[in-house]
Amino acid sequence: MRLDETLELPFSPISAERVARSLGPLAGYLLHGKCLRVTNRATGNLPSLPAGPGACWPVIAVTNQKWLNFLEPAFPLPLRWADGQQDNDPRLPESIRECADRVRTTLGASLNDKDAKEAARYRIWFREPMEGWPDLQSLVFPAGSAFASLALGFFSLLNRVTPFESTWASVQWDDLLLPVEDLGKKVDAALRWQAKSFYVAAKQSLDDLNDEQMAIVRRLPNKPGSPSVGLGDYFVAGLVEPDASDAEACLAYHAAIREVDPLEAAKYYLKVLFRHIARKCRERVFVGAGGSEDLPSVMVTIVTHQIEPVTAIIGVLGIRKVLLLYTASEPQMQSKATDLYRQIKLNWPDCQCDEPVGFHFDTESNEFPGDFVASLRSQIDGFLAGTRDTEVAFDIDRGTTLHKLALCKLIRPDHWMTTLVHPMENRKIVHGAERLMLWRAGDDWTRPFCPLDGVTGDGSAE
């Protein structure tokens, strides 16, 4: 007898036992309390949800009233995304497999070629171990609302991070986030598993929810773009923040949340990730002549879209005074400069940093603007008044080519020049591979790389 036919039998101890045996390890997830007690399967504890990268637990509402003789009104399916399987798990209901295919196609469309090639191999399966799970192909129910949960599992496997078992969701996707049916039943299922939050679409009706249900419901804002952007708040809340001492896990977590919430990623960078990056930078710094006794403590930089390298240099070198210059004719640069200024004041309160200084520059001119150089000289000379040349570093990797050429006209032999070298991928910094370069303007650039700590007077490591 097929499982759907077994579920339509009248309730009795015999039929309950038949259903329980048919469900196998799923019995603890799907059967209601009375059925578990009658079949002596009540343990007092719920089975665990899947864990690790790729894990997901879409919550399914029962639509066939006869099945409620044995099943909870809603339940989580313990699933995971597997890498290397040729197809989705054939034991799963067709609606789940179809929804998984939509997740893979939709999220994969927004990936770069490398990640898209990897993600194309992902398939949805029961959680590990793979053996022993029942055949659910005969069960017919709508599963469009599983999209959000399946998407988080997919995203977590792609980024090698762990989903948070206390964060649930039920959201459909069709070019935008859509509400779902039977929300109350699904939230009750989440509460049984002690969920702390349950994410729904902005347009989801909450009229039928009670106070206990409302306490964990979170609305997702309407955000245009890919589903990973629309589900961004859920993705950030739904990923386990790793132990701050695990550098590789912190790098993976930051890379994941940066994809969906750059502002949250920037906070995490300064709160957790920076100390790992600073440590690595100190282990591999190019230092020219001059030595550690007079490393620069004052810096001049031009603000660009990438502000993290500037904060890295400030933190690694212990810069105590910095001048932030930006192109006044570009509103985005003014905003970036303000963000950088606030980050410095908040995270390095001992670093003297005045309001960013805007300069005007004719980007359409084909001639090198001498008045621009003179203007920069006036601003920089005023900032450096009373400062020895040996204390000053110019960040030479910021701004346009002409900006850099203008700065070079103002750098004297005893000034330091510095830059944070870092690989880029999809126009974003790949953190963990940064390398700080630091040398005198008058150096011959032949000094070897050596640790920042323990640099001797001739630029060599002790």
> Can you give the pLDDT at residue 56?
98
Both 412 and 346 in a single domain? yes
Instruction: Note the pLDDT of residue 452.
Output: 54
Q: Which residues of 234-245 are buried (b: 16+ CB within 10 A; e: fewer)?
A: bbbbbbbebeee
> Torsion angle of alpha carbons 141, 145, 148, 151, nearest 10°?
30
Q: What is the pLDDT of residue 363?
A: 57
Helices 331-347 and 308-317, axial angle in degrees (round to 10): 30
Q: What are 284-307's pLDDT values in tens digits?
A: 666 654 444 578 999 999 998 888
Q: Which two tokens stand for residue 338?
A: 């303000």
Same-domain pairing of 30 and 134: yes
- pLDDT, tens digit only, all 462 positions of the chain: 899 999 999 999 999 999 999 999 999 999 999 999 999 998 889 999 999 999 999 999 999 999 999 999 999 999 999 988 889 999 999 999 999 999 999 988 877 777 888 888 999 999 988 789 999 999 998 999 999 999 999 999 999 999 999 999 999 999 899 999 999 999 999 999 999 999 999 999 999 999 999 999 999 998 877 888 899 999 999 999 999 999 999 999 999 999 899 889 988 998 999 889 888 887 766 665 444 457 899 999 999 888 888 998 999 889 999 999 998 878 888 899 999 999 999 999 999 999 999 887 665 654 556 677 887 888 899 999 999 999 999 998 877 777 888 888 889 988 998 888 887 777 777 888 788 888 888 765 555 445 555 433 333 333
- Whether residues 219 and 366 share a domain: the answer is no
> Among the three residues 237, 270, 296, which one is the final residue of a domain in this structure?
237
Number of domains into which the chain is organized: 2
231 and 316 assigned to the same domain: no
Which residues are CB-neighbours of 287 under 8 A, at least 6 positions away? 295, 438, 439, 447, 450, 452, 455, 459
Look up residue 462 and give its two tokens: 């002790």
**Does residue 263 belong to any structural domain of this protein?**
no
**H helical segments located in 40-87:** none
pLDDT at 398: 79
**Assigned domain for 258 exists:** no
Residues of the domain holding 410: 278-450
Does residue 197 sit in the same domain as residue 291?
no
Cβ count near 455 (within 10 Å): 20
Residue ending a domain, among 237, 270, 288, is: 237
Of 237, 260, 293, the one marking the end of a domain is 237
The pTM assigned to this predicted structure is 0.83
Determine if residue 144 is left, alpha or beta; phi over 0 gives left, psi from -120 to 50 gives alpha, anything else beta.
Answer: alpha
> What does the DSSP 8-state code read for residue 120?
T
Nearest CA to 104 out of 116, 114, 94 is that of: 116
Residue that has been written with the tokens 């999209």 in this structure: 147
For 288-365, list the strands marked E by DSSP: 298-302, 321-327, 352-353, 357-359
For residue 162, what pLDDT is reported? 96
Residue 399 vs residues 52, 220, 326: alpha-carbon distances, Å = 42, 37, 8
> pLDDT tens digits, residue range 78-117?
999 998 888 999 999 999 999 999 999 998 887 777 788 8
The confidence score (pLDDT) of residue 332 equals 86
Output the pLDDT for position 110.
77
Report the CATH number that the domain containing residue 417 is assigned in CATH: 3.40.50.10770
Same domain, 305 and 228: no
- Determine, yes or no, domain membership for 305: yes
